[in-house]
Structure formats: structure tokens, C-alpha cells
Chain A
């Protein structure tokens, strides 16, 4: 009897020790970074799809079910994912509630830009703590990864060394890629564009494109006629002839704006899995940069 009990105990310990940490991340980009940092120790699920607008994800029962089984829940923070509260409420998973070991605000420590000086709904709805699209500057990717690694180490301290090593590999690779991207992006410096939503500010910070305005009047607010006319006049005055859009921003409103301005539309992914071939964080910038360079005559590779 005793040897059997010992065998069962050892088997249980072995199984527990080898158990994968279940990570649920709100955004595909966070899920991908968690995969890099977690390596073979984790299974990762992203709640939002790369092709959908991450501001307006529907908090469906399948997402709540995923959260209920998570060991680590990673959200960006900065009040970006307003849809997570409902999920956390019904998921009944105390381990991943904010403030607990299994919860990560991945943007912790990143200083947001475009923080409203006057906080009011009159300034738009969805960027109350500043621009939350921080992952579009690869330098912020390191901080996102550090926060995720810290979260993994909290819930799985036995393999903290693995996460530290994986973080270093990710960091080294990102630093090396950053050098390449910076050189590649030199022709884009000062390249004037208009965007659909105010999501490319961090990308502009990193690579020097010049986002002159947004089709949205304010974050989350579709353009009224006055804003549209003002933007059209500005584009004409400043010679802006390119509009950059994430795939989910290609709507009748943005198409009409392109038609009225005569500007060419460039569709670029804003998230991992946001377009074919954008399978990870590195590919995201590879594709964004190559698309922008290809689509900008006279500046191409």
C-alpha cells in the first residue's frame, strides 16, 4: 500500500511540477509576448482577435469561461480594456482579480503620452488615462515583457529562472531588431500621414512618422462635418496624401474621407494576428514598416 501511495504522490508532484501555466491575455500582442516569455511552460489564449477593434471587444461568455480557468490574466491597463470588468465579475476566479498575484497590468511603468489635461467625456470616451496603444513603440515591448515575466514568476516561482532567461532572449532579440527597424525606417522620418484613430502616436515616437491628424474627431468619436472639413483643409494645406488605417478602421467613413481628400489609404495591422503573416510581435513591425515603405513612392526600400 505504502509504495503505491508514494508512487501516486510522486506522480502527482511530477504532474504538478510540469503543469503549464494557463495565461489569458486581453490582446493578441500581449498573448504573443507572454508566449515568448513563458516559453514551453505556458499555454496562452488571447481574448480579442487581431482583426477586431480592441477598444470594443464584446465580453462574451466564452471569454468569461477562459478567464475562469486562467492562472494569470494579463491586461494592458490604462483603462484600455473597459470590457474586462464584466468578465472578471462572472469568471469567479479570485486569483486573477486586480491586485492579486495572478493579475498583470502590462503597461505598469510605461509613461503614457497624450494624457488629457482636462478629463471629461467631452474629450472623447476611450483614452481617459492617455494614449493606451503603447505596444506600437517596440521599446515599450520590453516593459510589457518585464511585467508579464514578473507575473509569471509570481504564479510559478519554481520556474522564475526560465522566465528570466526567456525575457532576456526576448529583450536581446527585440534590441537587435530595433536597431534594424530604426535603420529601415529612416526614409519614413517626417512622412506626413493622417490616421483613422489616434493609435500610431507611439509608432511615430519610435520611427518618426508625422501623424498630422485623425479622422476620428476625438478618440472613439466619429467625425462631424466640421471636423471633416477642417481635416480636409489641413491635409490640402500640408500636402498630406496618405491615410493609415488598421484593418477594422476601413469603413464607409474612412473610405469617404479618402475619396474626398484624394489621399491614398494604407492598411496596416495594429496588433499581432491583425493581418496574414503577422504571427508575432517582431513580424508586426516587419510588416508595418515594409508596408509603409512599399506604399510610399520615393521612399521605398
Chain B
């Protein structure tokens, strides 16, 4: 009797165990099938953005200003105390083929109140990415690699305005010319130190430096930048730029040179408990221009700015900037500007900014009427929508 009971129990256990095993097998098979389906479903998602259509980003830059007196632009139109949709920028970029990318940045801007908006190609170039290790090249119209801030678009600037020396030496909106640019990252022995070189040749027709007339003489630009990682949270850059071209006045061509130096230090906390980040930056410009009609033969002028920005909270940035620039045609006259700003990012796509600038102009003021003193309070709203923007790596991160 006992033996019979044991036999039944054994058979029962074996049956249950076999059934368990079979269920487990079934679960394993289903899990494998599910994983395979998940893999198939997930496959296209990891392919990254390589769509045929260009990625489109739109930037809007809306400003308002309050001035302590009437301010007029170079066309004698009053620009003080008003709102202005300063710029709407459309950024399109896509792979052209396996060897190159295309970038087109157009801007609709209304710099003159009560006038129709103007459309301009801010940049439009093909970027060759498959030349050689460390080498990339641009052909088209692009922001010239002179210094640091000249390479940024208006909406990427840490303040509402370009520094005075950039406007004085490179143009009111900076310098963006048509030509060729080659960038080379030197092979590095020390991974924390990088030397990069840029060479450019472009039409020498910039209004500020080369007379703004059609010219067969190209201009040349060279830039060297040395980058150092100081520790995991901070780095520093030292750069020098040199530009050479011919200035055309009365059909006579004169040599024109601009030399620049720049530095930038950035610290950003990986584990922010107090300050999140700090940027200290400055640029120096020196121009030397042949003026055979003058007794002195050569005219020169210089300018510089310094900037300090802190990030006290994740979404808050504040900074001050001091500008100084000698007037090109009379270096005994000096324009000065000092200003501060506070920026708040709701996200990286929407920024609100409040700024104040005091300018003491000794000569004809850029973008405004001549006047010894001018105080302006700026409000600015910058918004971005569309594809993720390519951002400068040192300010808003």
C-alpha cells in the first residue's frame, strides 16, 4: 500500500515537473520571440538623423530698447525707444553626399524701422568632412574665423550687441565673406592640449576693411588656436588671428592688415552646488592700413573688449562686458562701452534677457547718432524651434 502511494506520488511529481519545464520552455520561447520583435521594432530608431530633407531650425530675435535720448542710425532714422523684430533666421543643413554637408542660413532682418524687411544669406557653404583626418573645409559664404565672437550669429551672442571693437574692425554685423576656409586639428600627443589652424582666402570686399567695392584682390586670413584642458571642469583657449588684404580707394589699392589676439577661460561644475559655470573672455584688435595720401603713410588703430559671465543657477546667466575701440580714421578718439546683462532660459529653446549699456562715443557712433553719452536698456526674447540647434560650446552650456 505504502509502495503504491509512493509510486503515485513520484508519477505526480514527474508529471508536474514535466509540465513546469514545458511552461518554462514556452515562456523562454515567447521571451526570445518578444526580444526579437523588440529588436526589429527598435532598429530604425537607432539610425540617427540622416534624413534626406534638411534639418530646419528657425531662430527669432525680438528686442525692445529704452534710450536716454534720441538715437538715429546711419540713415538718420530714429531707432530709439521701440520694439524690433531684429532678425528671423532660417538654418537648413543636411548631408549632401558621403563627403560633404550643406549649410544654408538666411536671415530676414528689419534693421530700419518702418522699412520692409531685407533678406540676406548670412552663411551658405558646403562643408567637406572627408578630406583627411583632422581636416575640414568650407566653400561658400561663411563667418570668418577672426577671433571668437565674430564666428557667432546674433542670437548666439552672450549679450544683445556685438562688442564695439568687432563692429569697428570687422563691420557692424561682423565679417562674413565669400571664399574658402580650411581648418586643421594638429595631431595631439597630449590629449588635453590641442592646436588647431585655420586658413581662409576670400573676396577682399568687406566694407570696413577693404572699402566695400568690387575687387580682384583676395584677402587672406590665418588663425591659430591653442586649447588646454586645465582639469576635468575647466579649460582655456589662446588664439591669434591675422588678416591681410587690399583696400581700394579711388581705384588705388593699399595694403590693409588686422591682427587679433584672444583668450577664453571656462569653468563648469560637474556637480553644481554653488555656481554652475564661469566664462572669462577677451579679444584684442590692431589694424594697420597704408594711407599714401597722408603724411604719416600708415594709419593704425586698436581696440579690445573683456567679458565675464557667471551662471549662478541652472537657467540663469549674468555678465558684464567692457569695450574700447579707437576710431579708425582718428585714433586719438576712443569709443567706450560698458554693459551688463541677465539671461534666463526657460529651456535651451527660449531665452529672456535684460541688459543695460552705457556708451561714451568720441567719434561717429556705430548704429546710432554721434553723441558723447548714451544709455540704453535692452530687453530681448530669443526663441528657437525645429531641429536641435548647433550651439557655441562655451556660453550657454
Contacts and interface: CB of A to CB of B under 8 A. Distances in A.
Interface of A: 45, 49, 51-53, 56, 58-62, 64-66, 68-69, 77-79, 82, 85-86, 88-94, 97-100, 105, 107-112, 115, 121, 125, 129-130, 143, 220-222, 247-248, 250-253
Contacts of A77: 45-48
Interface of B: 38-39, 41-43, 45-50, 98-99, 101, 127, 129-136, 183-188, 191-194, 196, 225, 227, 229, 232, 235, 237, 266, 268, 270-273, 313-315, 347-349, 385, 388, 390, 393-394, 397
B185 A248 contact: no
A61 B129 contact: no
B96 to A, nearest CB: 12
Contact of B42 (A52, A59, A111): A111
13 contacts: A51-B232, A59-B393, A60-B393, A61-B185, A65-B196, A69-B134, A79-B48, A92-B134, A92-B185, A105-B47, A110-B39, A143-B39, A250-B273
A56 B347 CA distance: 13
Contact of A222 (B47, B187, B314): B314
Contacts of B313: 252
Contacts of B131: 92, 94
A94 B43 contact: no
A111 B225 CA distance: 43
Contact of A99 (B46, B50, B194, B348): B50
A251 B272 contact: yes
B134 A68 contact: yes
Contacts, number: 155
A69 B133 contact: yes
B268 A220 contact: no
B227 A62 contact: yes
A97 B98 contact: yes
Contact of B45 (A59, A69, A125, A130): A130
A90 to B, nearest CB: 5
Given A49-B270, A222-B315, A86 B390 contact: yes
A99 B99 CA distance: 12
A51 B135 CA distance: 31
A90 B191 contact: no
B136 A105 contact: no
A77 B313 CA distance: 29
A92 B349 contact: no
Going nearest first, the 7 A-B pairs with the smallest beta carbon separation are A94-B130, A111-B38, A111-B42, A77-B46, A68-B134, A61-B227, A92-B135
A92 B187 CA distance: 12
A112 B47 CA distance: 13
A58 B393 contact: yes
B322 to A, nearest CB: 26
A255 to B, nearest CB: 8
A107 B227 contact: no
A247 B134 contact: no
A65 B188 contact: yes
Contacts of B46: 77-78, 105, 107-110
Contacts of B237: 61
B185 A68 contact: yes
Contacts of A222: 314-315
Given A93-B134, A108-B43, A222-B315, 18 more contacts: A52-B270, A56-B397, A58-B268, A58-B394, A60-B227, A62-B192, A82-B388, A88-B129, A91-B134, A94-B131, A98-B48, A107-B42, A109-B42, A111-B42, A222-B314, A248-B270, A250-B271, A252-B313
Nearest to A81: B48
